[in-house]
A and B are shown apart, each in its own frame.
Chain A
Amino acid sequence: MKIKLKYFASIAEAVGMSGEEMELQDDTIVSNLVEALKERFKDFEEMSNVIIAVNGAYVDPNTLLEDGDVVALFPPVSGG
């Protein structure tokens, strides 16, 4: 299956892009994806505090990802 990744704020700057597509195995859960991305981007300290949202909602780490999901990675928010 294929998912869409979106990066924001300091994480987008660290990884040098605002988003990309990624192929995943069908039984991937959110925590598997986070571990893989942390390993891939281990040189960036920004990833140590990353927050994940799937399709615009905060999710449980055990959530099963589905084809076409939009997964966002971002630092703690600072709006308001």
Chain B
Amino acid sequence: MIEITETDFSVDEVVNRIQTDKMGCIVTFVGIVRNNSNGKPVESIEIQVYEEMAVKQLDAIREEAISRFAIDDVSIVHRHGSLRVSEKIMMIAVGAGHRIEAFDACRYVIDSIKEKVPIWKKEYTPDGEFWVEGEKDE
């Protein structure tokens, strides 16, 4: 499942929706809004998305993860709009028979998202607002 949404989502619901009887584990990654960036305070963020392309890219990343690793399924949810500190930004859930493949696939998916999917963060700080551009190594 791929979903781009402005509203908050439930981690439990995403996990419950992906789970099947043959899975031995579900590895999840949840990205949240930090209250700091490069040592400076962050009050909130805004996320902009090029939705038509982002959905295509997320679908392609999901398909690649499923073909590359011994896993059963991948769900990706990503929010856009204004988000406050501690709110959820996105979530990945990987269901697999065994943990090693699930962890590896989850890492592959988040790294690919940070490299390829047209989504941008703008940070609102006491010093002004700044776009974050390229952060695949963070």
Q: Which residues in A have some Cβ–Cβ distance to B below 8 Å? A: 6, 8-10, 13, 49, 53, 56-58, 72, 74-80
Q: Which residues in B have some Cβ–Cβ distance to A below 8 Å? A: 31, 47-50, 52-54, 56, 78, 89-90, 110, 113-122, 131-135
Whether the Cβ atoms of B52 and A77 lie closer than 8 Å is no
Whether the Cβ atoms of B118 and A74 lie closer than 8 Å is yes
Whether the Cβ atoms of B56 and A78 lie closer than 8 Å is no
Whether the Cβ atoms of B50 and A8 lie closer than 8 Å is yes
Whether the Cβ atoms of A9 and B52 lie closer than 8 Å is no
Q: Which residue of B lies closest to A49 (CB)?
A: B133
Whether the Cβ atoms of A9 and B122 lie closer than 8 Å is yes
Whether the Cβ atoms of A77 and B131 lie closer than 8 Å is no
A6–B52 alpha-carbon span in the complex (Å): 12
Whether the Cβ atoms of A57 and B56 lie closer than 8 Å is yes
Q: Note all chain A residues with C-beta closer than 8 A to B117.
A: 77, 79-80
A-B contact pairs, 16 of them (CB 8 A): A9-B120, A10-B120, A10-B133, A53-B53, A56-B52, A57-B53, A57-B56, A77-B114, A77-B116, A77-B118, A77-B120, A78-B134, A79-B78, A79-B90, A79-B117, A79-B118
Q: Note all chain B residues with C-beta closer than 8 A to A49.
A: 133
Minimum distance in angstroms from B33 CB to a CB of chain A: 12
Minimum distance in angstroms from A34 CB to a CB of chain B: 17
A33–B57 alpha-carbon span in the complex (Å): 23
Q: Note all chain B residues with C-beta closer than 8 A to A9.
A: 48, 120, 122, 131, 133
**Given A77-B114, A78-B119; 17 other pairs, CB 8 A cutoff:** A9-B48, A9-B120, A9-B122, A9-B133, A56-B56, A57-B53, A72-B118, A74-B50, A77-B119, A78-B120, A78-B134, A78-B135, A79-B49, A79-B78, A79-B120, A80-B117, A80-B119
